Amino acid sequence: MEAAAKTKVFGKPDTLTGVPYYYCPGCGHSLIHRLVCEVIDEFGMAGDTVAIFGVGCSCVSYPFFNLDWIYTLHGRAPAVATGFKRSMPDTLVFTYQGDGDLGSIGIAEIIHAAHRGEKFTTIFVNNANYGMTGGQMAPTTLEGQITTTTPEGRDPAHCGSPLKISEMLATIDGAKYVARQSVHDYKSLVATRKSIKKAFEVQLAGEGFSIVEILSQCPTNWKIEPVDSCAWIEENMMPVFPLGILKDESGG
């Protein structure tokens, strides 16, 4: 009796190199990388895509992407993306930035890129701390959250409340698509992939700036087990940073 024919239904995206990830166990970056690459493969644009990485855990991303890429100074990815996209408008350009890089030193860059309606996409990874440099407080650190620079928890009276960056950007006319998603469970992975695809479509249609904020696990600096970090997102981050489409003024 002949063996039944087997059909491959799942595999590595071509735009992932296959280099083993060296992120901390349970980190969400690897999941986000895959979703971005799946969409690029779907568009068939691997040869016409440029990734621009900021400083943070994102700055070690380039070995994993089979794409052209540019590594920038801290917070300056939107400025570099602006220049590249304006000089090569048919290229798919995205910045890949963490909450410290984008929301602190780079906050003016991202605001004015949105204000000008720059036609690139930002993948904004929010894990509520400075992940690469030891887990210091970031603009998105939660009230009461313990970090290396807030050992007694973030005190709003001393350093303000978590900055809701996507809500802020959604008020800007030049921002045409703003979403916040997560990678803490399967349902969220599906929604995140859909938002990444939509954001890239907005860019390719020349409609304006697009951004997808993604809540991501950081069990090492949260000091919890990787399996528990998914529940931590749902129980602690999502009440402060609710998921969904904050703005969609696209034509599609």
pLDDT in tens, 5-26: 778 777 889 999 989 999 999 9
Instruction: State CA 205 to chain mean position distance.
Output: 21
Q: Give residue-wise pLDDT tens across range 133-192.
A: 887 889 999 999 999 999 999 999 999 999 999 999 999 999 999 999 999 999 999 999
Question: Token pair for residue 135?
Answer: 């887990």
Q: How far is it, in rounded angstroms, from Cα 154 to Cα 141?
A: 7
Q: What is the mean pLDDT of the chain?
A: 93
Report which of 46, 28, 190 is spatially closest to residue 98, judged by C-alpha positions. 28
pLDDT attached to residue 3: 65
- Segment 57-83 shows an average pLDDT of 90
Structural domains present in the chain = 29-248 (3.40.50.970)
Query: What is the spatial distance between Cα 241 and Cα 161, in angstroms, rounded to a whole number?
Result: 12
Structure-block tokens of residue 223: 């000091």
Q: What is the pLDDT of residues 209-240, one digit of tens each?
A: 999 999 999 999 999 999 999 999 999 999 99
pLDDT digits (tens, 9 = 90+) for 32-69: 999 999 999 999 999 999 999 988 887 788 889 999 99
pLDDT score of 54: 84
| Burial of 176 from C-beta contacts in 10 A (0-12 / 13-18 / 19+) | buried
Q: What is the pLDDT of residue 1?
A: 54
pTM metric for this prediction? 0.94
Question: CA torsion 38→74→229→11, rounded to 10°?
Answer: 20
